[in-house]
């Protein structure tokens, strides 16, 4: 457990947009914010439904005057209060990420935004431009890359432990959309182009797979060939995507993501092969990382082991054998972002370990990936080059 920041710095004042009663990811963000005790939630526009916004705010012990029903009002008022929020978490459906993030950045408030960044590359680039002209910080919650063993994998690849990279195999298999699921709040917006954007499974979990592969391998694909499917009758967005990847150094890759892979829960797995060995990580057993060298014993590394790279130690709370999980991965993003915010407050450089939080650049990269995959799909899986 490492903490570079001032140990008695006051907690960071946090607001939230989205995340009212009945939501999923909002509650995850709140737990993540509490876990390491660096934030205090003080304001929210938790729902577009005024009654739900009110009820949700009371349940979270917000003061009455800081429960908003409109994110624009919230951005304006909070930015002018002396005790206004310093950072906002955006946990709405995808189509609101852009306007909400824009409003708070314009109000001078740091932003933590759920993924995917936006519903179009153009919006993503616009946000990037906006943020570039302000001094506000931006975090994109690709939480899977915050697991300690993923950070260990990244450090080991960067360190040359695998030699020259040759193959990237990433998959993200779920089955919860195997059936139409009409009336399920989580399913409804994800399968509605007006709320989710033009990509379904591709944007929802394909984006995680792509970000994870890029985070660990340190390589963005040069070109891709993608084939999308909608297996459930009547579904308007893709529920399965698969693609081939080519990298600038000649490496090859495959990515598939599915929400109709019957029997799978949250099967995100990454394998990276190089000339000198491979790494294998599975989200469902996140405390483990398997390293295999040609002809050698398979080594199972465990979070908490002393020999791991510093980047993994930094993100570890508990000794080896005491499982950490999904909430801790989210909390790590919050903890690292707290360090960035406090460093900004205190006029110092943040600890370099705290800079692994995905940023707007990652969000732009993700949207570029999504749009390239859609373009390839519409050209019968022709190769599409990703600009950089």
Per the structure block, which two tokens stand in for 243? Answer: 């693609």
Q: How far is the CB of 73 from its own copies (least distance, A)?
A: 23
Partners of 88 in the β-ladder: 15, 111
Of 72 and 292, CB closest to its own copies: 292
Q: How far is CA 10 from CA 39, 338, 341, 346, 351, in A?
A: 9, 11, 12, 12, 18
Per CB under 8 A, contacts with its own copies among 2-21 are 7-8, 10-11
Per the structure block, which two tokens stand in for 237? Answer: 């967005």
Q: Parallel, antiparallel, or unpaired for β 39-45 and 12-17?
A: parallel
Q: Which of 246, 269, 344, 345 binds its own copies (CB under 8 A)?
A: 246
CB-CB contact of 291 with 277 (8 Å): yes
Per CB under 8 A, contacts with its own copies among 295-314 are 295-302, 304-307
Per CB under 8 A, contacts with its own copies among 165-184 are 166-167, 169, 171, 174-176, 178-179
The stretch among 45-53, 118-126, 129-137, 290-298 that binds its own copies (CB under 8 A) is 290-298
Of 107 and 274, CB closest to its own copies: 274
Q: How far is the CB of 42 from its own copies (least distance, A)?
A: 14
Q: Is 204 helix (H, G, I), strand (E, B) or coil?
A: helix
DSSP code for 143:
G
Q: Can you tell me the distance from the alpha carbon of 142 to that of 113, in angstroms, rounded to the nearest whole number?
A: 9
Q: Which of 234, 263, 347, 387 binds its own copies (CB under 8 A)?
A: 263
Q: Which of 252, 269, 344, 345 binds its own copies (CB under 8 A)?
A: 252
Q: How far is the CB of 47 from its own copies (least distance, A)?
A: 15
Q: Can you tell me the distance from the alpha carbon of 190 to that of 158, in angstroms, rounded to the nearest whole number?
A: 35
The stretch among 96-104, 188-196, 317-325, 360-368 that binds its own copies (CB under 8 A) is 317-325
Of 51 and 129, CB closest to its own copies: 51
Binding-residue total with its own copies (CB under 8 A)? 93
Q: How far is CA 178 from CA 31, 109, 232, 381, in A?
A: 29, 40, 7, 24
Q: Which of 118, 225, 316, 365 binds its own copies (CB under 8 A)?
A: 225
Q: Can you tell me the distance from the alpha carbon of 358 to that of 2, in angstroms, rounded to the nearest whole number?
A: 20
Per CB under 8 A, contacts with its own copies among 38-97 are 58-61
Per the structure block, which two tokens stand in for 116? Answer: 């995917």
């Amino acid at each position: 457990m490492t903490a570079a920041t001032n140990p008695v710095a006051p907690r960071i004042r946090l607001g939230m947009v989205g995340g009212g009663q009945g939501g999923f990811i909002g509650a995850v963000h709140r737990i993540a914010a509490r876990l390491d005790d660096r934030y205090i939630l003080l304001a929210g526009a938790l729902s577009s439904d005024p009654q739900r916004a009110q009820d949700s705010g009371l349940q979270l012990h917000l003061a009455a005057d800081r429960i908003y029903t409109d994110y624009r009002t919230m951005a304006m008022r909070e930015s002018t209060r002396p005790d206004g929020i310093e950072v906002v978490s955006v946990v709405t459906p995808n189509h609101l990420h852009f306007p909400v993030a824009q409003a708070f950045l314009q109000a001078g408030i740091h932003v933590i935004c759920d993924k995917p960044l936006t519903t179009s590359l153009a919006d993503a680039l616009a946000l990037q431009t906006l943020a570039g002209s302000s001094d506000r910080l931006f975090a994109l919650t690709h939480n899977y890359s915050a697991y300690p063993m993923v950070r260990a994998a990244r450090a080991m690849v960067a360190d040359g432990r695998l030699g020259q990279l040759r193959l990237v195999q990433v998959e993200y298999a779920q089955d919860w959309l195997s059936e139409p699921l009409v009336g399920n709040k989580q399913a409804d917006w994800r399968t509605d182009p007006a709320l989710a954007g033009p990509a379904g499974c591709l944007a929802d979990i394909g984006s995680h797979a792509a970000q994870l592969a890029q985070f660990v391998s340190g390589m963005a694909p040069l070109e891709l060939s993608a084939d999308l499917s909608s297996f459930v009758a009547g579904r308007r967005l893709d529920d399965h995507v698969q693609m081939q990847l080519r990298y600038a150094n000649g490496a090859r890759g495959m990515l598939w993501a599915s929400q109709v892979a019957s029997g799978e829960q949250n099967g995100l797995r990454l394998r990276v092969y190089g000339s000198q060995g491979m790494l294998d990580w599975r989200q469902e057993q996140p405390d483990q990382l398997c390293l295999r060298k040609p002809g050698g014993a398979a080594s199972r590394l465990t979070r908490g082991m002393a020999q791991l790279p510093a980047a993994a130690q930094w993100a570890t709370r508990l000794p080896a054998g005491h499982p950490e999980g999904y909430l801790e991965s989210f909390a790590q993003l919050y903890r690292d972002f707290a360090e960035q915010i406090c460093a900004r407050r205190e006029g110092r450089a943040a600890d370099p370990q705290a800079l692994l939080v995905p940023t707007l650049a990652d969000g732009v990269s993700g949207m570029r990936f999504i749009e390239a995959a859609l373009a390839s799909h519409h050209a019968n899986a022709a190769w599409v080059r990703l600009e950089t």
